[in-house]
Amino acid sequence: MCFKNLPIEFDAEGKPFLRAGVADPYGPSTATPRGAPAQLTAERIEDLLKRNGYIKDLDFDPVTRVAGALAFHTVADFKGRKVLEARSMATLFRGYEVIMIGRDPRDAIFITSRACGVCGGVHSVTSAMAIEMAIGCVPPPLGILIRNIALALEFLYDHPLHLHLLAGPDYSAAMVGPTNPSLLARARSAQAPHAEIHGFRTIGDLMEDLNPLTGKLYLEALHMTRVAREAYVLICGKYPHPQTIVPGGMSSTITLSVMNEMFTRLAQFFDYSKKLAAIWDDLTEFFYEANPAYKQVGARRANLIDTGIFDHHEAYDASYAGATAWGERRWATPGVIMDGQLVTTDLHALNIGVEEFVEHSYYEEWSGNGQRQHFPTDPVGNPLSPYHPWNKVTKPRPQGQNWKEKYTWDTAPRWDRQSMEAGAYARLWNTAVAQKLPANPFIEATGTSLKLRLPKGALPELELEWKVPAVWNAFERNRARAYCTGFTALVAMNNWLAAMDRLKLGDTKTSTPFEIPKRGEQRGVGFWGAGRGYLTHHLTLDRGAVANYQILTPSTWNASPTDRWQQPGPYEEAVLNTPLLEETEDPAKFKGIDILRAIRSFDPCMPCTTHIHSDAGVITREVNTCACGVDDDGG
Amino acid sequence: MRVIVAGVGYRNLRDHSVGVVVADRLLDRSWLGDVVVEDLSYNPIAVMQRLEDEPPERRFTRAVVVAAVERGNRPPGAVRAYRWDGVLPNDEEIQRAVAEAVTGVIALDNTLVVTRHFGGLPDEVVVIEVEPGVQEFGEDFSEPVAKVIEQVCDLAVAMATDAAAAARLPSTGLGGALPSVAGNRLG
């Protein structure tokens, strides 16, 4: 029984159905999320601001060191050292869904890739998978293996980038010094427990080398992004927008020489992963020990969702009917974690529980007002909400900003009406707890942890163990992402070995021919993942052209606004729970470092979130909705 | 003297494709001197790494960088050529440029700032900017930009091959906050 809010039950065979006697099963009052935190009302916040001089607006516009255009509004109580209101704003409309309408579905592989300048390949693969499902095209084993390796390499670009170029500076001496001088002083004399792995004697030394632009860890991360890119382009042609991903596999020519060149680069990530885990273990434990209140920075309920990723080459059949089976054989298990407990690993259950709401978003409702729900069920007869992506229609409606009404270009995706978080860490958590990982020599899921056996490099062979955390916060997100680098490298290694076996057998086939049907209606969904987690593309074809295309990215989940039930989105919830631990008494000197740590720990990617297009044309950098002056005129 | 002529921009984005189109047009040209033409329209960190790959004795001594840049203080099709003085913004702005670089933003200012900060960019940098008129999908230029594109190519060739001409350009900050170059006002 994985649904607690939606009236969906399961029969003896495990098939979901809508509970009988519910007149409006997806009505807002039928299924109200229970136990979720709620934002204070706008009226209450206005009252507090008027009556208390120590309560002030604190805005971050833009939030820097994130991908794309994100603004964040808070109301902070400088006396109580807490945040009273948090509003996440995607300030840029893109609208890839609108661009895709009427096109040949194969265009989606190249067009949706442009949704992101970090990880375009994930969109290419997800769209290829949606097409494969719609037209019934199954890639050959080597095609699946190479696709897995390619996308693992993309994540090996993404994780170091986030850890040491975007989030890392928040923990550097250059940042900690001005905001928390006593903490930096303590760090300078704190021995680093894992010095033999990462090479830094004290936490202070480590913080120095996290300094932006000059720190060795910052510069090393820049270098490692190159190593990953070099390996990636061997099979994908170019980065970040691959040229070799096709429905039915990959168009790359794979030879032993390509495999070997790729391996020399992949192998560099074994040692680097050991260092990353050691660094983020030491940093995290240092902060916890220095002040246990850091455990509250970015804290929220452990409600996580992930589609799983990296298909087993003997399991994936591209069908929706088979998704439960092939999903559970993935190298990263799909799943939903609710309040820290795994509630499903079934891609069907995951899919039918997804809804997207736009009450606080610059879009028009597409449901209701007598409009037909296009698909009442999924392809195997399971019930679907009118708010499900296969039923969603993107109807942009720019307007003024108002917390009571609309304030972002992001939508509010919910699963079972709950605000869910996506991330590389959901990948680890599901996989660790579900224990459905394919047999392999490198990664072991114990039920409470993931053991990662990283081969010898310049550093000796090392077994890392990522443990399901007791608290869920900004530090644990970063720590998990560090471990996920090792996990990803080992998934790539497993797939590399399997691909070598195929090549030794003389199997060099990487793709399956296909034709786009010119008649009838078909639909498909790509269940895949970005470096930041959950990614789906829901596709409907009509007579060979795209009739509907819906992209749901990790940052769409994470940056989502407050929903119709006043339930905040994940960034908002995490910031509302964040204590202000900065050592300044003067609000004018306040940098908001704890709030920024909370937000950046999610690895925000706003270009993906709002997927750049307007009626007038393509926008490459322009931010077209400013967060300044919000509510000035109430609309 | 080894020169790189580089285009920076986006393909199929009408006026914003100026840098890419100029690089394409000059690619097969035969050069008298040691001139390399490349499309550097990608992550500026990768551009820095590509420039640093040149062995010390083969490092470029001058870069001629062509791009469409919307400054908003000049009419569409206006061409501005200048020697970049190489003065970098503050560290916070450089960090922002790096963050934009690694997350996919391709822009002239970012490319120059990042490659100057981390190394790889020659000391002598000639920038040729064209003010775009339109920003939308498509292969063709707007009329004001189409009128100047051949002349922009000629100017890039002159700046790559004529050291004295390059040296006569004004030395300015990014954007060339000076009037258009006398004698090079095109269109």
pLDDT in tens, B141-151: 999 999 999 99
Nearest alpha-carbon partner for A126 in A252, A307, A313, A253: A307
pLDDT at position A263 is: 97
User: Which residues lie below 8 Å from residue B40, measured CB to CB, with a gap of 6+?
Assistant: B6, B7, B8, B23, B47, B50, B65, B111
Q: Which two tokens stand for residue B83?
A: 């020697």
Whether omega for the bond prior to residue A240 falls within 30 degrees of 0, making it cis, is yes
Distance between CA A571 and CA B22 in Å, rounded?
44
A596 contacts on B by Cβ (under 8 Å): none
Cα angle A510, A516, A517 (rounded to 5 degrees) comes to 140
pLDDT at position A50 is: 87
Share of chain A above pLDDT 90, in %: 76
pLDDT at position A372 is: 67
CA A170 to chain centre: 20
The B-side interface with A (CB below 8 A) comprises 10, 13, 16, 43, 45-46, 49, 91-92, 94-96, 98-99, 102-105, 107, 117-118, 134-137
Specify the DSSP class assigned to residue A202.
B
- Closest-CA distance, B170 to chain A, in angstroms, reads 29
Confidence of residue B177 (pLDDT cuts 50, 70, 90): low
Distance between CA B7 and CA B156 in Å, rounded?
10
User: Which residues lie below 8 Å from residue A100, measured CB to CB, with a gap of 6+?
Assistant: A107, A108, A111, A112, A546, A549
Confidence of residue A606 (pLDDT cuts 50, 70, 90): low
**Minimum mean pLDDT among A129-133, A201-205, B118-122, B141-145: which range?**
B118-122
pLDDT at position A373 is: 83
B49 contacts on A by Cβ (under 8 Å): 226
**Quick check: A613 pLDDT over 60?**
no
Q: Under CATH, which architecture does the A8-92+109-387+402-618 domain have?
A: Orthogonal Bundle (1.10)
**Quick check: B180 pLDDT over 50?**
no
Distance between CA A578 and CA A594 in Å, rounded?
7
B10 contacts on A by Cβ (under 8 Å): 620
Give the CA-trace dihedral at A473, A476, A477, A479, to 10 degrees: 160
Q: DSSP alpha helices (H): ranges in B41-180?
A: 44-52, 91-102, 108-118, 143-161, 163-168
The A-side interface with B (CB below 8 A) comprises 64-68, 116-118, 120, 161, 165-166, 169, 212-213, 222, 225-226, 229, 239-240, 605, 607, 616-621
Distance between CA B101 and CA B120 in Å, rounded?
15
Where do we find the tokens 């339930």?
A567
Distance between CA A5 and CA A391 in Å, rounded?
20
Greatest pairwise CA separation for chain B in angstroms: 43
Helix (H) or strand (E) holding B18: helix B18-27
What's the Cα-to-Cα distance from B31 to each of A285, A520, B40, B162, rounded to whole Å? 60, 57, 19, 12
pLDDT in tens, A298-312: 999 999 999 999 999
Strand partners, A536: A527, A552
A68 contacts on B by Cβ (under 8 Å): 103
A120 contacts on B by Cβ (under 8 Å): 104
pLDDT at position B179 is: 43
pLDDT at position A403 is: 81
Amino acid code (one letter) for A492: A
Confidence of residue A400 (pLDDT cuts 50, 70, 90): confident
Give the residue from A243, A618, A619, A623 with the most B CB atoms within 10 Å of its CB, the best one to mutate: A618
In B, minimum Cα distance to A606 occurs at: B103
Mean pLDDT of chain A: 91
**Quick check: A631 pLDDT over 50?**
no
pLDDT at position A475 is: 98
Mean pLDDT of chain B: 91
- Helices (runs of H) and strands (runs of E) counted in chain B: 6, 6
Phi, psi for A396 (deg, rounded to 5) = -65, 140
Share of chain A above pLDDT 70, in %: 94
Q: Which of B10, B99, B102 sits opposite A620 (nearest CB)?
A: B10
Cα angle A303, A307, A309 (rounded to 5 degrees) comes to 130
A165 contacts on B by Cβ (under 8 Å): 98-99, 102
* Interface contact B16-A620, CB threshold 8 A: yes
Q: Which of A67, A239, A618 sits opposite B13 (nearest CB)?
A: A618
Q: Which of B99, B105, B117 sits opposite A65 (nearest CB)?
A: B99
Quick one: average pLDDT of B57-70? 96
Distance between CA A342 and CA A336 in Å, rounded?
6
Nearest alpha-carbon partner for A459 in A267, A256, A263, A261: A267
Nearest alpha-carbon partner for A541 in A426, A322, A379: A379
Q: Which two tokens stand for residue A283?
A: 């940093």
Helix axes A216-236, A268-290, angle to 10 degrees: 140
Total CB pairs under 8 A between chain A and B? 70
Give per-residue burial for A22-45: e unless 16+ CB within 10 Å, then b. eeebbeeeebebeebeebeebeeb
- Closest-CA distance, A398 to chain B, in angstroms, reads 20
* Interface contact A619-B16, CB threshold 8 A: no
Amino acid code (one letter) for B160: A
User: Which residues lie below 8 Å from residue A419, measured CB to CB, with a gap of 6+?
Assistant: A33, A36, A303, A412, A560, A563, A567, A568, A569, A570, A573
B95 contacts on A by Cβ (under 8 Å): 64-65, 169, 212-213
Q: Under CATH, which architecture does the B2-172 domain have?
A: 3-Layer(aba) Sandwich (3.40)
- Closest-CA distance, B116 to chain A, in angstroms, reads 12
Q: Which two tokens stand for residue A558?
A: 């994470």
What's the Cα-to-Cα distance from B10 to each of A484, A547, A611, B32, B51, rounded to whole Å? 33, 28, 18, 29, 20
Helix axes A474-504, A256-266, angle to 10 degrees: 160
**Quick check: A181 pLDDT over 60?**
yes
B134 contacts on A by Cβ (under 8 Å): 617
pLDDT at position A146 is: 98
pLDDT at position B181 is: 43
pLDDT in tens, A493-527: 999 999 999 999 999 999 999 999 999 999 999 99
**Quick check: A614 pLDDT over 70?**
no
Confidence of residue A543 (pLDDT cuts 50, 70, 90): very high
User: Which residues lie below 8 Å from residue A119, measured CB to CB, with a gap of 6+?
Assistant: A154, A155, A157, A158, A240, A530, A531, A532, A605, A608
Q: DSSP alpha helices (H): ranges in A466-553?
A: 474-504
Here the ipTM equals: 0.89
